[in-house]
Structure 1
């Protein structure tokens, strides 16, 4: 099967996810939509999107929950049910873990967290050797320039608190200092100047620029090479950005978080 046919099949599944966010979609259901065996479907979906079908679906559900919290007056319990959660407690816990704040606080803040601070991964004690990860964010000439959020995450999905992060005033060089040992994914999200006030996911998809690099392994015997990331338009295969990106709303000059 050609790569185009595989992408079309994955696209069908993502469209079905978006249409049925409140339904109990299983891997078997998704595989039938793709017209693949379950095991083949799971592999090709991850090849195309960078993450598993279940994680992608969860990200879509939470992205819709973010929209509903800002654009509607439905209760948190109602929204939980509308995006496929049978337990409002599970929904609230998952939302806070991925977005950075609880659903009620997210609504109160209008979609922007007070800050996006990094967290120290488990087991990364003060005695661990740390590394500086350097790189460059490039923007093609046909893309609109804006602030860039650079985050280092343990998975390819930009959710939860980053291990290290930085906001750049514009595409260009960056450094992430004190990176602990581990395997990480570098994710970049940028919106044009003047759209910083829009919550992630609410601005024109064509104007959002993203980039991804990884996995990057950091350890005592592995010194990471400089990373080059070229931004591109957000497309249907990119998992949603779930963080409440206050840092992109501010017009601050280069800000280190942590």
Structure 2
């Protein structure tokens, strides 16, 4: 990846809670605003604004799941200047409102929105195997086909696969429309070490046709 884009991504990851502008992100990459926006999209497949929004929603989900902060407090903590804009962005990305997501997180992950209804004309199937990096124990993996290179509701097909430590598991995604899709996975795995109860999150990404 281009080093200027890497600098910009680091800036976004460190300052997502601030009211960042495109100009400020471009300055962190030492590039002009217009050239930076084009380069960032070429390198990541996303505009800087979409990438920043994805980072903010990711951190918002963690705060909703793990803290007692109010939804309003969380919205400001991750860089939004109004509860309304945060709620709209979160709901569009996750598929449920922040308050409903909190209720679902407390009760378990059941009830989250599924993929778009299908099948479509010319739909097909993607199949393969999932394996875990070294240093992880058993994992539950969410795998989906998405229109964008970020995990964002809705997927066109999705599945949850249990993957044991040390060997791959097979998967198949059915009724995927003809075209190009981003095949993305999120895994929550047991840590390996003195405290096996520790939880780690791994992100795996790719593109399927």
TM class by smaller structure = 0.7 to 0.9
Alignment of 1:5-24 (within 5 A): 6-7=2-3, 9-24=4-19
Residues 1:192 and 2:189 aligned together: yes
Match of 2:203 among 198, 201, 210: 210
Q: Distance in 1 between matches of 2:101 and 2:48?
A: 26
Provide structure 2 residue ranges, at least 5 long, that are not aligned to the other structure. Answer: 193-197
Structure 1 equivalent of residue 98 of structure 2: 103
Residue 92 to residue 113, structure 1, CA distance change in 2 (3 Å) = farther
Query: How do 1:131-150 and structure 2 match up within 5 A?
Result: 131-141=124-134, 143-150=136-143
Question: How far apart, CA to CA, are the structure 1 residues paired with 2:177 and 2:125?
Answer: 9
Q: TM-score, normalised by structure 1?
A: 0.65
How far, CA to CA, are the matches of 1:208 and 1:35 in structure 2? 32
- Tell me which residue corresponds to 1:40: 35
Superposed CA RMSD: 2.8
Q: Aligned partners of 1:191 and 1:77: how far apart in 2?
A: 27
Distance across 2 between alignment mates of 1:43 and 1:127:
33
Deviation at 1:145, TM superposition (A): 4.3
Q: Kindly tell me the number of residue pairs found equivalent between the two proteins.
A: 198
Q: Which has the higher contact order (CA 8 A, sep 6+)?
A: 1
Q: Tell whether 2:176 aligns with 1:161.
A: no
User: What is the SS of the residue equivalent to 1:187?
Assistant: strand
Match of 1:226 in 2: none
Whose strand fraction is larger, Structure 1's or Structure 2's?
A: 2
Give the unaligned 5+ runs of structure 1.
196-202, 217-258
- Measured against aligned partners, the alpha-carbon deviations of 1:163-217 in whole angstroms (never above 9, x if no partner) come to 101111213221111112333110122232479xxxxxxx76xx4333222152x
Aligned pair partner of 1:176 in 153, 173, 178: 173
CA distance in 1, matches of 2:83, 2:33: 30
